[in-house]
Chain A
Amino acid sequence: MTAIRNRMLTNAAAIAVAWLAGMLVASAQSSAILDQDAVVANTVAGEAAAAQSAGKFRSLDEDVQSLKKEVLDLNRDLFLLEEELLFPANSQVAFFISMDVGEYFELDSVSLQIDGKEVANYLYTEREAGALLRGGVHRVHMGNLKVGDHELIAVFTGEGPHVRDYRRGATMTFNKGIGAKYVEMEISDRAAKQQPEFIIREWE
């Protein structure tokens, strides 16, 4: 009897232990599943939020780019309109300076007179003169002139050969017809005479 009772007690204990173990495993599994669900839910929510904010930034960036393009287009249109209104093509005349010198002349300033009236007086900084030497062309004056003959006097001031102050004028009579007129004044070396030379030419 005792042996049977003991055996029954042992079996009951074993069953209880097994049942308890089973309960523990089940609860761990269910909490793991819940955690996983929470993690998945969090991840999904996080991704959604990230996607939303990335979307917001993208749309903001697009807005900024579009605004920038509008501003540039407007700036271009205003520039063209200003030119058309202030300097209509039929009376427009523009004067440009270019340099092709190495040794004989360091440009300081240029003054322009048209038909005896001073229209431009420009001081060149070191940086600007350097830009001209590197091939830049400077539009020193733009204005309006009537059709007919006009006289241009350009006076160049700077440092000439042997580091001496140098002031030289160049004059030209040009005919302003219908349509815009462009005149270039080029300063270049004249090796034969060891002097700079100043050439005024019209662009065709």
Chain B
Amino acid sequence: MKGLKPTVLGAFLGILALGSLASSGLTGQPAPDFALKSATGKNLRLSEYRGEVVMINFWATWCGPCQQEMPLLEELHTRYQRVGFRLLGVNIDDDSRRALQMVDDLGVSFPVLFDETKAVSKLYQVEAMPVTVILDRAGTVRYVHHGYKPGYEELYLTEVRSLLRE
């Protein structure tokens, strides 16, 4: 009985970790290409960022962890943009106006794209929010993170830095 409690706890934490940090079936595959309208009114296409390390963050205004994560992503974008890193935020709200307001309130400067039809989020197997996908310079999916907990940003930092060094 003594040894059972730590084992169960360990297994539970392992399952949580797997659930939150699990790679999807996309890992190792070329990232599905897409074009979406951005908050500035311009259309942006993923394949035009080939040659740079790209992070795609799927988020929604009703998602609390997304709001928590966004300022940390903004820091990542500001720090590494000039060395070949691009961060694209893909909002999946039905109405993009709320998303625009939230982007303004949080002072986000990275491009925010609107996937109102959810076509792109289906391509990336997005089921829960947020989902963060990191691509290498060749456009291959290298890391996928489902959800956000404080501390994940350290992992993002390590992964982005390792891809920038490749």
Partners in one complex: yes
- Of the listed stretches A39-47, A70-78, A123-131, A184-192, chain B binds A123-131
User: Chain A 82-118 against B: per-residue CB contact (8 Å), 1 yes, 0 no?
Assistant: 0000000000000000000000000011000000000
Which chain A residues border B149 with CB–CB below 8 Å?
Answer: none
* B residues 27-60 in Cβ contact with A at 8 Å: 35-37, 42-45, 48
Whether B36 pairs with A125 at a CB distance below 8 angstroms is no
Expressed in whole angstroms, the Cα–Cα distance for A125 and B43 within the complex equals 5
Expressed in whole angstroms, the Cα–Cα distance for A78 and B5 within the complex equals 57
Which chain B residues border A123 with CB–CB below 8 Å?
Answer: 35-37, 43, 45
Whether B37 pairs with A125 at a CB distance below 8 angstroms is no
* A residues 115-142 in Cβ contact with B at 8 Å: 122-128
Expressed in whole angstroms, the Cα–Cα distance for A167 and B35 within the complex equals 19
Name the distance in Å between B93's Cβ and chain A's nearest Cβ.
18
Name the distance in Å between B142's Cβ and chain A's nearest Cβ.
23
Q: Which of A125, A126, A127, A128 has the most CB of B within 10 A?
A: A125
Expressed in whole angstroms, the Cα–Cα distance for A124 and B36 within the complex equals 9
Expressed in whole angstroms, the Cα–Cα distance for A126 and B42 within the complex equals 7
Name the distance in Å between A96's Cβ and chain B's nearest Cβ.
18
Name the distance in Å between A130's Cβ and chain B's nearest Cβ.
12
Expressed in whole angstroms, the Cα–Cα distance for A128 and B47 within the complex equals 12
Q: Which of A123, A124, A127 has the most CB of B within 10 A?
A: A123
User: Chain B 41-85 against A: per-residue CB contact (8 Å), 1 yes, 0 no?
Assistant: 011110010000000000000000000000000000000000000
Which chain A residues border B36 with CB–CB below 8 Å?
Answer: 123
Which chain B residues border A122 with CB–CB below 8 Å?
Answer: 35
Name the distance in Å between A48's Cβ and chain B's nearest Cβ.
39
Expressed in whole angstroms, the Cα–Cα distance for A127 and B45 within the complex equals 10
Q: Which partner residue on chain A sits nearest B43 by CB separation?
A: A123
Expressed in whole angstroms, the Cα–Cα distance for A109 and B42 within the complex equals 11
Expressed in whole angstroms, the Cα–Cα distance for A144 and B44 within the complex equals 29
Expressed in whole angstroms, the Cα–Cα distance for A108 and B48 within the complex equals 16
Which chain B residues border A108 with CB–CB below 8 Å?
Answer: 43
Which chain A residues border B44 with CB–CB below 8 Å?
Answer: 125
Which chain A residues border B37 with CB–CB below 8 Å?
Answer: 123
Name the distance in Å between B48's Cβ and chain A's nearest Cβ.
6
Name the distance in Å between A140's Cβ and chain B's nearest Cβ.
13
Which chain B residues border A128 with CB–CB below 8 Å?
Answer: 45
Q: Which partner residue on chain B sits nearest A129 by CB separation?
A: B43
Given contacts A108-B43, A109-B43, is CB(A127)–CB(B35) below 8 Å?
Answer: no
Name the distance in Å between B111's Cβ and chain A's nearest Cβ.
12
Ordered nearest first, which 10 A-B pairs have the shortest CB separation?
A123-B35, A123-B43, A125-B45, A125-B43, A127-B48, A124-B43, A125-B48, A126-B42, A125-B44, A125-B35
